Amino acid sequence: MHRRTTPKVFSHSKELRHNQTEAEAKLWRVLRAHQTGDVHFRRQHAIGNYIVDFCAPHHKLILELDGGQHLEQEAYDNQRTAFLVSKGYRVLRFWNEAVINDLNGVMSVILDALESPSL
């Protein structure tokens, strides 16, 4: 059993790693190439009953990528973000389109967040 989640959620996070969106795959290539210095990110990281797109656990920073479904599930996403913030995480949200079309701009925001301990 994992301390931060249930076995069911942990298993589902493994499945999600094999079914990345185009934006997730593009951002992961940069994050896993350690272009954020010595910051280690995990993808599809389970926390409680939620699975976040990317997490730097030691920096308590979460990156979420939103597609068109975000507009339809805004209340759920707000509840989820409130839970993550209550656990001490900072949550940055990016539109999939921004990652695909302006990865440098997205990375600039991420690097700024890593340099600043609080947002």
Write the CATH number for 35: 3.40.960.10
Torsion of CA 67, 73, 78, 80, to 10 degrees: -90
Q: What pLDDT, on a 0 to 100 scale, did the predictor assign at position 93?
A: 95
Structural domain contains residue 1: no
The residue that leads in pLDDT, 2 or 113, is 113
- Average pLDDT for 1-5: 57
pLDDT of 81 strictly over 90 = yes
CA pair distance 55, 51, nearest whole angstrom? 10
Q: Do the beta carbons of residue 54 and residue 45 sit within 8 Å? A: yes
Residue 38 belongs to some domain of the structure:
yes
Query: Is it the case that residue 23 has pLDDT exceeding 80?
Result: yes
Q: Please report whether residue 12 resides in a domain.
A: yes
Phi, psi of 24 (to 5 degrees): -60, -45
Structural domains of the chain, count: 1
Judge if pTM exceeds 0.75: yes
Give domain status of residue 2, yes or no: no
22 lies in which domain range?
7-115
Is position 92 within any domain?
yes
What gap in Å lies between CA 94 and CA 91, rounded to an integer?
A: 10
